[in-house]
Amino acid sequence: MANYEDNVAIKNFREYLKIPSVQPNVNYDACVSFLRAQAAGLGLPARVYEPVRGKPIVVLTWAGVQPALPAVLLNSHMDVVPVFQNSWKHPPFSAHMDADGKIFARGSQDMKCVGIQYLEAIRRLQQDGVRLKRTLHISFVPDEEIGGHDGMAKFVHTEDFKSLNVGFALDEGMANPGEEFILFYGERSIWQLHIHCTGQPGHGSLLLDNTAGEKLRYVIDKFMDLRQKEKDVLESNPKLTIGDVTTINLTQVYGGVQSNVVPEKLTAVFDIRIAVTVDHVEFENMIKQWLKEAGDGVTYEFEQRNPCVPNTKMDNSNPFWMAFKSAADKMGLQLDCRIFPAATDSRYVRKVGIPAFGFSPMNNTPVLLHDHNEFLKADIFLKGIDIYINLLTAVANV
């Protein structure tokens, strides 16, 4: 562990992890100050944009020798999810490093590691006198953990973002317990639906017709039957991952006034992640048909409705993919290419037509994002910097 204690990259990583940028209601001031200091140490300009007040987006820029070429965006988010401190063996914002080099902190995997790895890779390239063809923009965004609606979702539509002239982007991936490095080239679409069932109210001792409960049962059965069908598809094919199927989960049921009153309204909430192979119009029409079959007075509204966003191409039509794959092959990295099972800010970048990959170089590492005792081993973190040195050189010299 002694050689890790004095490592500048490890020091910077642990310092960043000690900033409790935890949702909800994050104060990002300490993150911005830290990143400004990092920029100064690297001799890079840092700009702070605020599409939404109090939600800063920090962008450090390393100019390329051909700055007119479309730039490469290296994105990470500053915020982290909440913690249950009593369930942690070390305080979650202490960045405690044990004798095995495990660095325990919320955000160690998701995803402060990647933000620092970008910067440390650039530091090493600068020290080696390397100049890259394309400009690198290193962005640190807010609120990804609550959907990014006041962060990247708005930023990509601003003139400030357009002025960055981004042609390709990297964002977060995920740890993998095995040897492979997971690469994400697309994401499922999030639909969060509230289904409202209205019906005849009355006394709880009667068998009334046209009740909200009967309609709710029909709706829940339809959604859960489809859930089981998708689960069967996933379990029957070992080549598939969770990102390849549509997932449906009943997350809330609410309504009614008291136990002996048949309610006039009951609501069920479903979290749906639509597979990239599914036609959105057909899927919504199917839902409309179910609600029609359930009876009159059954309606729906969206809490969240992501559009269908095309996957980033992984063929010779995408020169950034060819460069990324070539560099990975030279390093002997085994890539496991997947659809991301949840959601990241990559979807907003892809939506405006920019190819993007999700990649976090954490193999041989248990998946602990959003879990208790989240950690990343120092040697895996440092190896990730070496990997980024090669990957960034490759994609920035396309």
Whether pLDDT at 2 is above 70: no
Write out pLDDT tens, residues 279-316: 999 999 999 999 999 999 999 999 999 999 999 999 99
Cite the residue boundaries of each domain of the chain with CATH code 3.30.70.360: 189-275+277-305
Write out pLDDT tens, residues 64-78: 999 999 999 999 999
Strand extents, DSSP E, the chain: 46-52, 55-62, 71-77, 96-97, 102-104, 136-141, 166-171, 181-187, 189-198, 202-203, 247-255, 261-262, 265-274, 298-305, 335-340, 356-359, 375-377
Cite the residue boundaries of each domain of the chain with CATH code 3.40.630.10: 2-187+311-396
Q: What are phi and psi of 11, to 5 degrees?
A: -60, -45
Q: Which CATH architecture has domain 2-187+311-396?
A: 3-Layer(aba) Sandwich (3.40)
Strand extents, DSSP E, 8-104: 46-52, 55-62, 71-77, 96-97, 102-104
Q: Is 172 a catalytic residue?
A: no
Whether pLDDT at 1 is above 80: no
Write out pLDDT tens, residues 218-250: 999 999 999 999 999 999 999 999 999 999 999
As a CATH number, domain 189-275+277-305 is 3.30.70.360
Q: Is 79 a catalytic residue?
A: yes
Give Cα separations from 127 to 7, 39, 98, 122, 124 (angstroms): 15, 15, 30, 9, 5
The residue from 110, 143, 144, 374 that is catalytic is 144
Q: Residue 97's pLDDT is what? A: 97
Q: Residue 229's pLDDT is what? A: 98
Whether pLDDT at 30 is above 70: yes
